[in-house]
Chains A and B, each alone.
Chain A
């Protein structure tokens, strides 16, 4: 019995996390459609300051399919594309027009994607450009975007549509309203109006009043 216990302990010892990897968490991502397939700009949080100041870094990836896109990102980070903390995905107009049903289904199926993830449509500027805009009161733009959307949803200014609700609506081919993001004159990102999706594809825009 003692030998068996000793062997079991020896076997589980390599699992004990002694190597202590600390992956760079993804806070937000911008996805667009290209001629070759998909492109993604992911915002990662680098915590390399001894004073505790975090800084954003951006990673771009491409792929013929969504899975190839995420595999490319994973490859570029040596297998540590850590999507579990991503809270916002910006959808470029190119992708919105092409349809987001596949994207929502893919994200909902990923084990490392939060079901509370918020999807938002970039309007008037490429999604990756909006993602990298300076944020007010927050050093990480992706985190600032999520807090902005969360705050507006809490106030009732935006419909509360986390990923699972979007996925359900798209599966049932319901009409869907996603918030739009645009660049203000002073160079920050702001939410205004809605993108209307019919059958999973962008059908038009509505203003806040409409």
Chain B
């Protein structure tokens, strides 16, 4: 959007009003001081701090003792707000104006004065629902851009913390901030992310995921190759480790890069609770990953292809449970996996307590009723419940575990244990081939790509955690 202003205030007012005709939130306030100074103040209702406009813009303008003032003099001597500037570039002027700043035009000067009066209402800071902790900070990012940056700045009181702004979205003109610790983050990494952002040309960016899906490596992989968090403490920790963060205006989710598989098994709690408890929890998460992927596949492989592997009594129990049910085991498992995903989806989309209640009612009542009605066998319900519940222990790998659970179950149903092992091998090969911003995805998990890091399978106690900057530059002091 570009407009040529003139020295005539009336013409400028007419131009702006024409530009925003039909927008009832657009407000024009003309002022004339007793000395004869004529000005026009433009802002959007609801986007600005009205008190600041009244007290720090309108009142000084009305009391100005000059008949004529330049835009520079207005910004320097009259406006009583810390952030005010003369903005001759109309595109930048509009970007600020549409984002809650106030524009002031004066008679005899074509250059507008832009004053920071942002005052739109936002959600208050709260603990992110998806990243709750038992112990530790409970603050979460919000949709407010500057507030999110301030949360990072508060935690990293380091002059080397850099915030580099850019704008994305031809229609939304969304501000995106690249954050990194200069000297800690590898400059090549910073450059890589900057280059990827520069190549983007989306028409809209309403959430950080709009960017994440465009800039991440291996876009078709079900594994996340770009980190995401709603917690400033987590984002700060990742910056300290040498990663970069992307804060997107309007999104409480901050992206971090690079992302490695190890991150998916880490929890915020790990660093705030005792090292023993954290270690046990992390081991359970690794076990949960294996269980959620392999339990349905293993069941199908044993029941359909390798019954000889089952102890006789277990085989008889499974056979008794299966007797009288109309569906074969493979159909039961796939049907239940789909029902589980449906219940999870419905529980997530349903608000608050109703969602939880519905999940419990759906899980218990439906499962119990289906078994009693001999529609589904009890072992199939147990298998899917184990796979589902263990999958919930890994929120960052939900999409990967859901997709791969189905794939492995299909492979096991078709080819038995051979199919399952073949599927697992493919997954391992895929993980070995993955990287995130030139960082191997299995960093710290495989011996050949292990670096000096005391935080891989288990975390070391804090007194032994000399440096947690496994991605940081070596020369960093």
* Residues of chain A whose beta carbon lies under 8 Å from any beta carbon of chain B: 12-13, 15-20, 22-23, 25, 27, 45, 47-54, 82, 84-85, 87, 112, 114, 143
Q: Which residues of B contact A15 (CB under 8 A)?
A: 413-415
B-side contacts of A17, CB under 8 Å: 300, 304-305, 328-330, 413-414
Q: Bound state CA distance, A54 and B316, in angstroms?
A: 8
9-residue interface stretch from B79-87, B152-160, B247-255, B317-325? B317-325
Task: List, in ascending order, chain A residues with CB within 8 A of B320's CB.
Answer: 47, 49, 51-54
How far in angstroms is the closest Cβ of chain A from B266? 34
26 residue pairs bridging A and B, Cβ less than 8 Å apart: A12-B414, A15-B415, A16-B330, A16-B413, A16-B414, A17-B300, A17-B330, A17-B414, A18-B328, A20-B327, A20-B328, A23-B307, A25-B307, A25-B315, A47-B316, A47-B319, A48-B323, A50-B323, A52-B321, A54-B319, A54-B320, A84-B308, A85-B308, A85-B315, A87-B312, A112-B308
- What is the chain A residue whose CB lies nearest that of B317? A52
Q: How far is the CA of A170 from the CA of B114 in the complex (A)?
A: 101
Which residue among B300, B317, B374, B414 has the maximum number of chain A CB atoms within 10 Å of its CB?
A: B414
- A-contact bits for B403-433, CB 8 A (1 contact / 0 none): 0000000100111000100000000000000
Question: Which residues of chain A are within 8 angstroms of B317 by Cβ–Cβ distance?
Answer: 52
Residues of the B chain whose Cβ atoms lie less than 8 Å from the Cβ of A22: 319, 322-323
The 7 closest A-B pairs by CB, nearest first: A20-B328, A84-B308, A17-B304, A52-B320, A12-B414, A47-B319, A16-B413
Give chain B residues whose Cβ lies under 8 Å from the Cβ of A45: 312, 316
- Whether B150 is near chain A, meaning CB under 8 Å from some CB there, is no
Across the interface, which residues of B come within 8 angstroms of A51, CB to CB? 320
Give the complex CA separation of A51 and B323 in angstroms: 9
Q: Is B194 an interface residue (CB 8 A)?
A: no
Distance to closest chain A CB from B296 (angstroms)? 13
Contacts of B329 in A (CB 8 A): 17, 20
In angstroms, Cα B319 to Cα A25, docked, is 10
- Choose one: A18, A48, A52; the contact of B330 (CB below 8 Å): A18
> Which chain B positions have C-beta within 8 A of A20?
304, 322, 327-330
Q: Hey, which chain B residues are within 8 Å of A112, CB to CB?
A: 308
Query: How big is the B interface, by class?
Result: 20 to 34
Q: Mark B365-388, 1 if CB is under 8 A from A, else 0.
A: 000000000100000000000000
Cα of A112 to Cα of B309 in the assembled complex, Å? 11
Interface flag for B331 (CB, 8 Å): yes
B contact residues around A85 at 8 Å (CB): 307-308, 312, 315
CB-CB < 8 A to A82: which residues of B? 307
Residue of A nearest to B312 (CB): A85
Question: Could you say which residues of chain B place their CB within 8 Å of the CB of A143?
Answer: 312
Taking a contact as CB atoms under 8 Å apart, the answer to whether A27 and B331 are in contact is: no
Cα–Cα distance between A139 and B53 once the two chains are bound (Å) = 90
Expressed in whole angstroms, the Cα–Cα distance for A87 and B307 within the complex equals 15
How many Å lie between the Cα of A13 and that of B419 in the bound state?
12
Bound: A27/B321 CA distance, A? 19
CB proximity to A under 8 Å, residues B303-350:
304-305, 307-308, 312, 315-317, 319-324, 327-331
Chain A residue, CB-CB nearest to B304: A17
B415–A12 contact, CB under 8 A?
yes
Which B residues are in CB contact (< 8 Å) with A16?
Answer: 330, 410, 413-414
Q: How far is the CA of A98 from the CA of B419 in the complex (A)?
A: 45
In angstroms, Cα B328 to Cα A114, docked, is: 27
Inside 8 A of B315's CB, which chain A residues have their CB? 25, 85
B312 neighbours in A (Cβ, 8 Å): 25, 27, 45, 85, 87, 143
Q: Find chain A residues with CB under 8 A from B304 CB.
A: 17, 20
Let me know if A47 and B323 touch, CB within 8 A.
yes
Q: Which of B272-313 contact A (CB under 8 A)?
A: 300, 304-305, 307-308, 312
13 additional A-B pairs beyond A27-B312, A52-B321, A54-B316, beta carbons within 8 Å, are A13-B414, A15-B415, A16-B330, A16-B413, A20-B322, A22-B322, A45-B312, A45-B316, A49-B320, A50-B323, A50-B324, A82-B307, A85-B312
Do B331 and A18 touch across chains, with their CB atoms under 8 A apart? yes
In the complex, what's the smallest C-beta–C-beta distance from A41 to chain B, in angstroms? 19
- In this complex, what residue of A is CB-closest to B374? A50
A83: nearest chain-B partner, CB-CB: B308
User: Given the complex, which residues of B lie within 8 Å of A48, measured CB to CB?
Assistant: 323
**Complex contacts, A12 vs chain B, CB 8 Å:** 414-415, 419
Nearest CB of B to A1, in Å: 12
Q: Of all chain B residues, which has the CB nearest A50?
A: B324
In angstroms, Cα B415 to Cα A20, docked, is: 14
Q: How far is the CA of A16 from the CA of B419 in the complex (A)?
A: 11
Among residues of A, the one whose C-beta sits closest to the C-beta of B413 is A16
* Interchain nearest-CB distance for B233 vs A (Å): 43
Nearest chain A residue, comparing its CB with the CB of B305 = A17
In Å, the complex CA distance between A114 and B309 comes to: 10
Whole-angstrom CA separation of A13 from B415 in the bound complex: 10
Residues of chain A lying within 8 A (CB to CB) of residue B321: 52
Give the docked Cα–Cα distance between A112 and B323 (Å): 24
Min CB distance B421 to A, Å, is 15
Complex CA distance for A48 and B324, rounded to whole angstroms: 8
